Structure 1
Amino acid sequence: MQNRSFEYALLGCLALLWGSSYMWIGLALETFPPATLMAIRVVLASAVLLLIMTFQGMGLPMDRRSWWLFFTQSLLNSTGPWLLLAWGQQYAGTAVSSVLNSTSPLWVFALSYLVLRRGQFPGGRQLTGALLGFTGVVLIIGVGALDSLGQNLVPQLAVFFSAALYGMAALRGQLFKGLPPIVPATGTLVCSSLVLVPLSLLTEEPWTLSPNAVGWTSTIVLGLACTALAFLIYFRLLSTLGAMGTASQAYLRAGVGVFLGVMFLSERLDMETFAGICLAILGVILINWPKSSSAVKSTTAVK
């Protein structure tokens, strides 16, 4: 059996990168408006990945079908959910938004029965893991976050739908299986740039801004680490751990936020939060637990 410990380490790294992105976004938003920040983020990430591809002697495919796949993936994986989150979180509240945005593994589970073939459906163990992980996120963020559920309904639905888009992206991203991860990562981010740069220019007049050093530093980290590197890991994991396994990093992101708070902000870890972290980790383990050889043979027979 293939040793997947390296893939699990990459899953933790992806959760760390995307979990820490909220901190970098918060710092950068002090000097950059949302659309401009996202535009710089994807342009910087695209430029770095294109440079790497050039040095490796690689190129992006030029056929219409590939670019349609890249563009659709960008709407599901970056442009669409980022814009929905940027708008919805302003009115829905950070806590409830974090809970709603962590439902992407549940969306993957539900949508799998619509888009996958029989024999590829996730099983009961993965559903149990998804539910345990979600419960863990609720405990980490605080059960009180659910008190405002139903208030500001439209913004909350926007955040909820952003998680659905992430779920669709994880399932649809498996269409790129067989390609080097840098190819779909670069193509997707280039397409996001083509949408976000004009949006920034039309709505926020970025040429009038005077960002400070903290804003620029946060934006650069966001573009290089939390976008370029994270997208490389993401598309690799879609090929190795699958859609459910990759989406499970959503449960680890909440724990990353707590870890950063304890390490750098001297925050305390209470029992409810600790229990939530344990449940989130258990959920991720169940989702990613390898199938037994007998189960694999049974699935092969069904096909």
Structure 2
Amino acid sequence: MVNILSLFTLAALWGGSFLFVRIAANPLGPAVLIEVRVAFAALTLLVVSFFLKKSLRFMSNIKHFLILGLFNSALPFLLFAYSAQVLNVSTLAVLNSTAPIWGAVIGAIWTRTRLSKDVIFGLILGMIGVSVLVGWEAINIGDEAIIPIITALIGAFSYGVATNYAKNAPSVEPFNNAHGSMWASVLLVLPLVPFMPVREEVTSDIIAAVFALGAVCTGLAYLLYFRLIKELGASSALTVTFIIPVFGILWGYLFLGETVGVNAIIGTILVVIGTMFVTGFASKFMSKKCV
């Protein structure tokens, strides 16, 4: 029961991250927003490391942290922040949930493994779900929605790269992976800040949104995620991916007044079911039902 509650809490936090990105992306610009986000997250994890008495040894694993930081945070965070200037919270959350699908495809290419029928079926469902979103957003927003949708999908693709890299990466404690990759992201994003300056007056609401995004939805959420991996295993912890779009839609509706269109519901259902087939959760669920 505690683990189920933790899964929903994590999904609520990560679903909320798209809400805060949406609020702050236009006034701060993608680079400043993400630099502050990863800095808050890194500082939060630094404080926690003191209490847990964990030594990071950043320089000993700097290459690993830079690669992980690039593909697991800096690049996808920037791409989603860019997309958030145009796309609504629910669309961002659903596009993000394609990450396990990309991970499976990249893994198959990486290991030269043939895709099973379930995985192919899941990929088709996922692509149809994304097409429903893309088509509707293009009609609703216009041609300016196309590039943000593509950049968000590339962000999800980046998470897939990070997942497969992590499987073959140097053996580093999960907490230190989160902590070290955040400091690496700070270094990676920093050079972009002068080229994408703040655009509007920074209000208290924006400061609060960025603090919540960095400290809570990134730093503390990572701690919760790695605790779930330790207690449930990586596969079970991945079920959070299925719940995130629900909270993304809910937070967008409650706090920004975003309409919940039929396209968002259909797209979400198709992407979630497709992801379940790609990751093998659908077959496991069906086998349990048959026992």
1:189 deviation in Å? 0.1
The one of 74, 77, 99 aligned to 1:82: 77
In the alignment, structure 1 segments of 5+ residues that lack a partner are: 296-303
RMSD over aligned CA atoms reads 4.1
Q: Would you say the 8 A contact 1:105–1:167 is kept in 2?
A: yes
Q: Would you say the 8 A contact 1:170–1:238 is kept in 2?
A: no
Identity %: 26
Give the 5 Å matches for 1:166-185: 166-175=159-168, 179-185=172-178
Deviations 1:159-190 (A, max 9, x none): 43222211101222234696443210000000
Cα 1:176/1:238, change in 2 over 3 Å: farther
1:109 aligns with 2:104: yes
Deviations 1:128-147 (A, max 9, x none): 445445545665x4752365
Deviations 1:99-148 (A, max 9, x none): 65543222112111232486xx7744355445445545665x47523659
Give the 5 Å matches for 1:12-161: 12-29=8-25, 31-62=27-58, 64=60, 66-87=61-82, 93-94=86-87, 98=92, 101-116=96-111, 123-132=116-125, 135-136=128-129, 141=133, 143-145=135-137, 157-161=150-154
Structure 1 counterpart of 2:33, one-letter code: L
CA–CA distance in structure 2, aligned partners of residues 170 and 222 of structure 1: 22
1:203 matched to which residue of 2? 195
1:191 aligns with 2:187: no
Aligned to 1:211, the other structure's residue is in SS state coil
CA–CA distance in structure 1, aligned partners of residues 192 and 141 of structure 2: 31
Which deviates the most, 16-25 or 281-290?
281-290
Give the 5 Å matches for 1:194-233: 194-200=187-193, 202-204=194-196, 211-233=202-224
Give the 5 Å matches for 1:275-294: 275-283=266-274, 285-286=276-277, 287=279, 289=281
Structure 1 counterpart of 2:211, one-letter code: I
1:279 deviation in Å? 4.3
Q: TM-score, normalised by structure 2?
A: 0.74
Q: Would you say the 8 A contact 2:31–2:192 is kept in 1?
A: yes
Deviations 1:243-288 (A, max 9, x none): x973x65554332222224545677766665555544554455435
1:48 deviation in Å? 1.1
In the alignment, structure 2 segments of 5+ residues that lack a partner are: none
Decide which structure has the larger Cα Rg and report it: 1
Cα 1:169/1:149, change in 2 over 3 Å: farther
Q: TM-score, normalised by structure 1?
A: 0.71
Q: Would you say the 8 A contact 2:40–2:215 is kept in 1?
A: yes
